[in-house]
Amino acid sequence: MGDLLPRHLDGFESHLRERHPESSRTPYARIADIVWILRRLSDKEGGLSPAMVRRLAHTSAGPVGSYAPRDSYSPHVVEQLRAAARSDIDQAVRRLTVEGPSLLAQGRDPRAAGWSSDANVLWEIYRSQGQFTRQELADRVGRALADEHSPGRLAPLLYPTSRDLFALLLLFCLESGMELEAVRELTSDCLKNSNRGYVQVEYLKRRRHGQEWNTIRVRDGSSNSPGGLLRLALRLTASVREITGSPALWQFRMKEGVLATGFSASAVAHLARSFVSTHGISDEGSPVELRLSRLRKT
């Protein structure tokens, strides 16, 4: 630590800037990470020279660089996104609160009543906490009957799917303006201090070092408000949360009985492409490239 000098840091930054185009943010981002680490090491352990401590008072000697532009989506695209998300949400609510419970109420233990019934197979899925799979059914009754009464088809009557929750997440991002990274990490106790048609949403912003936990005040009440969308998400995911014991908000059943406790960045990107393709969302005749990071500006 004591051997580090300002010229070492500045020389490394110059090296990075020579390797990247002028508009790139990479050199600044890497130097910012290094400066952040050195500042905290200095605060905790000391050992840096006075000249290096003075150098760490600023992040970089050069420009920040530029992001790729993140323009807002047009009103035409926004209306398509809203309508498509609302359609998926309405279908999920009907399936999970009406169709599923109704069919489950008709079911009986298939060991006694037989496996050749959707209601009885759904009963077994519920008994196994969503983890009864097509392969287990095929082992019992054969592939033909397992295909006809597939748990993969029936389980979404009891547990939300990633598609269901993506529609809620998309609409919440659009209505609230909260950053995608923060929305992905919301927990089941994120709603605070509901008052007069508004509610605070507590969220984690990892990049805000020392002040990671923050709140945003959003509209509440109607099913289309940001608060109402989160309350609906809590309602639809309650069954999975009870099984996993995780406080994460976005919990769903994946194929083959796997219960997921959150969306990864890659999963969101995949679901966005699928969402656009399924609903035929376009702009001037071309499919929209849906990036949820643009919804905040939108």
Check residue 297 and report its DSSP letter. Answer: T
Q: Which residues of the chain fall short of a pLDDT of 50?
A: 66-69
Query: Domain locations in the chain?
Result: 6-55, 75-82+160-294, 107-157
| pLDDT for the residue numbered 22 | 72
Looking at residue 51, its pLDDT comes to: 85
pLDDT digits (tens, 9 = 90+) for 263-286: 988 899 999 999 999 999 998 888
Residue 213: predicted pLDDT = 80
pTM, two decimals, is 0.75
Residues 295/268, Cβ–Cβ less than 8 Å? no
Residue with the two structure tokens 């699928």: 274
pLDDT on residue 208: 57
Output the pLDDT for position 115.
Answer: 95
**The amino acid at 107:** G
**The three-state (H, E, C) secondary structure of 191-257, written as one string:** EEEEECCEEEEEEECCCCCCCCEEEEEEECCCCCCHHHHHHHHHHHHHHHHHHHCCCECCCEECHHH
pLDDT reported for residue 277: 96
What topology does CATH give the domain 75-82+160-294?
hpI Integrase; Chain A (1.10.443)
